[in-house]
């Protein structure tokens, strides 16, 4: 093996000529293609956000239809007033972790109120939703435990298994019978337990888990069930406690996690448990112990949003009505949708380049949706992903539908125009 070379100024470089970034060359090629189409979907900036449903890029007003702002509470008078008041009383940040100076009475009050809403004796608040699953999963699973995850698990669940460093087995998506088979097949080491991790509403396709069936399978094998309701808390269930509540099994869920960055209109996360011993994990969960706690304004905004979830069921009625309207409209136009109506509606496209072109065209026409491409998507699919908000009006949804109608009617011309633009910028 040859050693490093030296440049003219004496800096050593690898003999191969490759840099630490060379492994990302294939990714760079993909990014370069997307950039030639116009706006980079994964590196875009809004010049302004004016409401839960409107943003601005340059002089163009954009309908926001991909922000996971399910209840539209980020601009609600109650959340804004609560956040402003928290800043006035406690400042802009805690500058410390939950185990040092970063726990205020508001953090604890929110934990008590979330626990009460979910009917659990314990709830722990974290700094983000991603950190929540990372911390709780790694805290719960020890070396002798085995984690079972759904094949379409979110990245934070996969990363949670990595941080836990324990044996992890995947089962087929939303398939309790397949989990049953894998639980029966897997040997659990002496002293270990099985931890099954699923989501309530899957964020890419918008499909819903049969949590009630998973409860039965997990508990039949003596496994613990962990449900991430990041996309469904606040939206489903009679009181907004999620799909587990809607399916009548909320009390059977061992661990229930969620985020503040969707229905709770803030930044942060939480995990509640029916096991009071969960409290002890505050002393072992490294992503809880060694990161700054959520800012007081974030905590107080989430508290106000939680109050809205409990007292304003009309928010859930609105979002479900808009989701049904949008799903029916797209379906009538002949678009292939990945799941029945829910607040997440994924439109399947033929390939990544087509999806990227259409995403750019929609933005140009004043509608922001999410572009979702492999490897972050189930079935290696390319998607235009829409998330509906309770703040959307019937007219907003009609406006979104009209752009998709144009896409359907003039798709070939739109693609041809985008191709010309790409060639011109080559």
Binding site residues, another protein, CB under 8 A: 146, 151, 161, 165, 167-172, 181-182, 185-186, 374-375, 377-380
Given the complex with another protein, which of 199 and 246 has the nearer CB atom?
Answer: 199
| Contact assessment for residue 70 and residue 390, using Cβ atoms and an 8 Å cutoff | yes
The nearest distance, CB 176 to another protein, in angstroms, is 15
- The least distance separating another protein from the CB of residue 374, rounded to whole angstroms, comes to 6
Pairwise CA distance, residues 426 & 423, whole Å = 5
With H, G, I as helix, E, B as strand and everything else as coil, classify residue 31. helix
- Tell me how far, at minimum, the Cβ of 170 lies from another protein, in Å: 6
- What is the maximum span of the chain, computed from C-alpha positions, in angstroms? 71
Q: Which is nearer to another protein, 25 or 48 (CB)?
A: 25
Which uninterrupted H or E stretch holds 63? strand 60-64
**CB 189 to another protein: min, Å:** 12
Query: Of the two residues 1 and 23, which places its CB atom closer to another protein in the complex?
Result: 23
**Residue 384 φ then ψ, to 5°:** -100, 110
Task: Give the C-alpha separation, 265 to 403, whole Å.
Answer: 27
For residues 234 and 378, which CB has a smaller minimum distance to another protein in the complex? 378
Which of 111, 139, 142, 146 minimizes the C-alpha distance to 125? 111
Q: Which is nearer to another protein, 179 or 391 (CB)?
A: 179
Q: For the CB of residue 185, give the shortest distance to another protein in the complex, in Å.
A: 6
Q: How far is the CB of 381 from another protein (least distance, A)?
A: 9
Closer Cβ to another protein, 172 or 219, answer by number: 172
| Inter-residue contact 72 to 234 (CB < 8 Å) | no
| Residue 357 near residue 37 (C-beta atoms within 8 A) | yes
Q: Quick one: DSSP state of residue 204?
A: T
Minimum gap (Å) between residue 351 Cβ and another protein: 12
> What value does the CA radius of gyration of the chain take, rounded to a whole number of Å?
23
Report DSSP letters for 250-317, one per residue: GGG-SEEEEESSSTT-SS-EEEEES-GGGGGGGGT-HHHHSSBPPPHHHHHHHHHHHHHHHH-THHHH
Shortest Cβ 220–another protein spacing (Å) = 18
Of 126 and 171, which has the nearer Cβ to another protein?
171
* H or E element at residue 226: strand 224-228
Helix (H) or strand (E) holding 25: helix 25-36
Give the contacts of 73 (CB within 8 A, at least 6 positions apart).
Answer: 52, 79, 263, 264, 265, 304, 305, 308, 315
Q: How long is the chain?
A: 426
**Comparison of 15 and 151: residue with beta carbon closer to another protein:** 151
Q: 110 or 356: whose CB is closer to another protein?
A: 356
Assigned token pair, 28: 């760079």
Q: Which is nearer to another protein, 168 or 298 (CB)?
A: 168
| Smallest distance, another protein to C-beta of residue 346, A | 15
Q: Which residue has the tokens 């804004």?
A: 80
């Amino acid at each position: 093996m040859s050693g490093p070379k030296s440049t003219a100024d004496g800096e050593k470089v690898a003999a191969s000529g490759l840099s630490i970034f060379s492994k990302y060359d294939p990714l760079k090629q993909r990014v370069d293609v997307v950039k030639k189409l116009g706006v980079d979907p994964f590196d875009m900036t809004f010049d302004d956000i004016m409401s839960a449903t409107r943003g601005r890029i340059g002089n163009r007003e954009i309908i926001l239809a991909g922000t996971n702002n399910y209840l539209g509470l980020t601009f609600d008078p109650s959340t804004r007033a609560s956040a402003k008041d928290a800043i006035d009383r406690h400042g802009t940040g805690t500058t410390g972790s939950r185990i040092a100076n970063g726990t205020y009475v508001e953090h604890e009050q929110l934990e008590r109120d979330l626990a009460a809403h979910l009917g659990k004796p314990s709830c722990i608040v974290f700094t983000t939703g991603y950190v929540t699953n990372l911390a709780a999963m790694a805290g719960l699973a020890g070396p002798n435990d085995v984690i079972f995850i759904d094949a379409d698990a979110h990245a934070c669940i996969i990363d949670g298994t990595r941080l836990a460093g324990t044996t992890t087995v995947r089962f087929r998506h939303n398939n309790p019978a397949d989990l049953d088979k894998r639980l029966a097949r897997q040997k659990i080491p002496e002293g270990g337990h099985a931890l099954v991790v699923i989501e309530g509403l899957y964020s890419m396709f918008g499909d819903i888990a049969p949590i009630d069936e998973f409860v039965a399978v997990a508990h039949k094998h003596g496994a613990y069930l962990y449900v991430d309701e990041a996309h469904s808390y606040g939206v489903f269930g009679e009181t907004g406690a999620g799909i587990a509540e809607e399916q009548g099994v909320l009390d059977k869920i061992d661990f229930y996690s969620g985020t503040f960055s969707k229905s709770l209109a803030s930044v942060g996360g939480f995990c509640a448990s029916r096991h009071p011993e969960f409290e002890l994990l505050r002393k072992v969960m490294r992503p809880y112990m060694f990161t700054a706690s959520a800012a007081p304004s974030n905590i107080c905004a989430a508290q106000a949003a939680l109050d809205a979830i409990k007292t304003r069921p009309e928010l859930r009625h609105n979002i479900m009505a808009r989701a049904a309207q949008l799903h029916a409209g797209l379906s009538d136009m002949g678009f292939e949708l990945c799941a029945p109506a829910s607040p997440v509606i994924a439109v399947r496209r033929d390939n990544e380049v087509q999806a990227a072109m259409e995403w750019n065209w929609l933005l140009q026409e004043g509608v922001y949706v999410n572009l979702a491409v492999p490897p972050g998507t189930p079935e290696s699919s390319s998607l235009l992903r829409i998330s509906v908000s309770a703040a959307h009006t019937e007219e907003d949804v009609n406006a979104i539908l009209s752009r998709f109608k144009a896409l359907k009617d003039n798709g070939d011309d739109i693609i041809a125009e985008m191709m010309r633009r790409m060639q011109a910028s080559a």
